[in-house]
A and B are shown apart, each in its own frame.
Chain A
């Protein structure tokens, strides 16, 4: 079987398209690269959707936590504390079993017990909490002069937020937010290792990597492949976020522009 054939058979295996049976023996490098790469589709899917949807809730949480009104502040604080204070692994388990229990009460929750939606909801809440904390910190360090200038121009309320505070907050938060995005993509590997089952062996990159490691009893091939894919993904994320960072900082004098400084990523 040529490599092209393998790619046709297994390239979209993680979505359930192509050959149904996974290779059982005589694993070639091509098999491993193709299947693990196919699994990356899920990692990108979870990461991208959670990041985009989480951004909006995160803004609300950040603003809520900085609000003087306790009715807004307390819920935001608790939401952030619960999702930042507990392991994502446990959140996945808890989310899965919660959705299973709810499913028995109402048919509406049926799709939630599948990974594509249920895990996405958990990741969405998780990244919103982490990002909300970042935005809250950034909101507190918006320069006082910017707000005074906005007042002087007669901006207030929503307009002031939309045109002055929010862009500055984003600008200040962006380096930390880039780290959070990298984190999130790494965290997507936990999805199929916790409660959510990989139905018909439709799993993510780590799922296939550990499949190969279990079958061949040789971790030295699949995991480096997985690592290579993730390094590639990380580089893409960094460069995309770098572009946005440039745009956010474009009005600043050249030497005051913030360079993206990346801290090492930690597990959650």
Chain B
């Protein structure tokens, strides 16, 4: 990157380090932090939407829809989430390919599952075998986002379901007595009031979401864990201009610090948000704020 870095073998000390930390691969490593933040930025709203849908389904009048909603929420209990991550990535991939296969190759007569193989016609492959690298990467990333959204949507659904039930019953009865339909009282009375009850659960979920981002590595995305392992491993002079021993422990220390800092900042921001939201609310925290003012 710098001109001084042209011949690394002559460098020493800080100069060497500065050159070492700005190699192309290191820049990719720094970019991977962006990948993680991007994942969080996309997943959080998506999971919230899934959660909202799940909570609405769990409250539905129509019984099968209600069972579906409750079942979706119930999967968060009892089973390790990492199993869901590993499961959904393959299951989604196969599901998409299966559907495309049904649409694009209707006259295919062989079975799709042949022993240990999952065979669909060439046109149904996702992404297509001849598509460029970035399509493959984006597809992998999209699958990861969808998986995260499904798993965390179940958590969010549980939180929102509880929050909807926490809104005082009298509020809804008042809405009914004003002649609002169930739909109107849901959107105009329940939804605006539930957020203050949902925020503690949602902020906990956000912390958990941050801490689960390293699992991206398991889903095959080139994230910070991937690069930390890659860059930290011992390098011999044959393959690189910057030979070094096994430095993985330092790279993972850096990741540890990154996550700690991120969690701390989130804690502070969410604390402020909570103070802001409780202002004027008829809760204990709101009452305490009023007395202190």
Contact = CB atoms under 8 A, between A and B. Distances in A.
Contacts of A88: 211
Given A90-B259, A223-B83, A265 B77 contact: yes
B286 interface: no
Contact of A25 (B91, B116, B208, B211): B116
Contact of B214 (A85, A90, A266): A90
B125 to A, nearest CB: 14
B254 to A, nearest CB: 10
B86 A210 contact: yes
Contacts, number: 132
Given A206-B86, A219-B91, A220-B91, A189 B208 contact: no
For chain B, the bracket of interface size reads 35 or more
B252 interface: yes
A268 B205 CA distance: 10
Given A89-B215, A90-B255, A193-B218, A213 B78 contact: no
B78 A101 contact: no
B197 interface: no
B260 A82 contact: yes
Given A25-B116, A97-B246, A100-B246, A87 B212 contact: yes
Interface string B55-74: 00000000000000000010
B82 interface: yes
A94 B249 contact: yes
Contacts of B228: 93
Q: Which of B83, B94, B204, B229: most chain A CB closer than 10 A?
A: B83
Interface of A: 25, 81-82, 85-91, 93-94, 97-98, 100-101, 186-187, 189-190, 193, 206, 209-210, 213, 215-220, 223, 226-227, 230-231, 234-235, 262, 264-268
22 contacts: A82-B260, A85-B259, A87-B211, A87-B214, A88-B211, A89-B214, A90-B259, A93-B248, A97-B232, A97-B252, A101-B246, A189-B83, A219-B86, A219-B94, A227-B78, A231-B78, A235-B78, A266-B204, A267-B80, A267-B208, A267-B211, A267-B215
Interface of B: 73, 76-83, 86-87, 90-91, 94, 113, 115-118, 155, 158, 204-205, 208, 210-215, 217-218, 225, 228-229, 232, 246, 248-249, 252-253, 255-256, 259-260, 263-264
Given A86-B211, A219-B86, A266-B204, 20 more contacts: A88-B211, A89-B214, A90-B214, A90-B255, A93-B228, A93-B229, A93-B248, A93-B252, A101-B246, A101-B249, A186-B81, A189-B82, A189-B83, A193-B82, A209-B83, A210-B86, A219-B87, A231-B79, A262-B77, A266-B81
